[in-house]
Structure 1
Amino acid sequence: MERSEIDVTIPPSGAGCVECDALDGWWVHLRRCVECGHIGCCDDSPARHATGHFQETGHRFMRSFEPGETWFWDYVAEELFEGPELTPPSSHPDSQPTPGPEGRVPGDWRRELLRLRQG
């Protein structure tokens, strides 16, 4: 599979989800677009900005932006794959809690996610 869209030189857009930060929102886990560096929240997060980024831009490859995780995801093929080393940092700061960021996660976040999933 051709993965020429992966740009190992692009740094991440920040330490948190770009859209959630702009809206004072929160996330469960973070994902990094390996085509442009955009950091978005995962599909377990309330807003699902990483998938939204793929749908909006067509950037099909992303990587986990969680400490200790090195897996990549292809939205088109819907499969995990091993990819190259990327420009650091490779994750959000270890000091940032999951879910995060500190101070914006509701105390009942599990219940909030369940409510969102149930529609």
Structure 2
Amino acid sequence: MDLKFAHHSDYFFFSQLLIRHIENYVRKHPDADNAIFDLRDIYELFREDFASTTTNLEGILNIADAYRVETINGDERLIQSYKIDVKNNSLLVDFNADALRSLKSGRPLIEPDSSLQE
């Protein structure tokens, strides 16, 4: 008997959840140019999927930081940089100032092309 199974995290689904969470954060905190999220909140956001909050988080963030916003200078990434702070159980996100301004002014997020991702 041969049992085959695999756990494939839906990276694009979770990156979409994370980006929408960030988008809501930006609306609630219009003066913020960065964000700090508790990883417990991300765990809840990911519907308590432990693998996505730990092992797969870097891959999810790699997709999330590919989201762009149209600016005067062309399409720019919303997330300039991020850091997973394991010691403080937090996710630190720095935003691109131009993209953040455009998002706040009502420009929509541009999703990455999933067919081009590896």
Give your verdict on TM over 0.5: no
- Judging by fraction of residues, say which structure has more strand: 2
Please tell me whether Structure 1 or Structure 2 has the larger radius of gyration of its CA atoms.
2
TM-score normalised by structure 1 residue count: 0.32
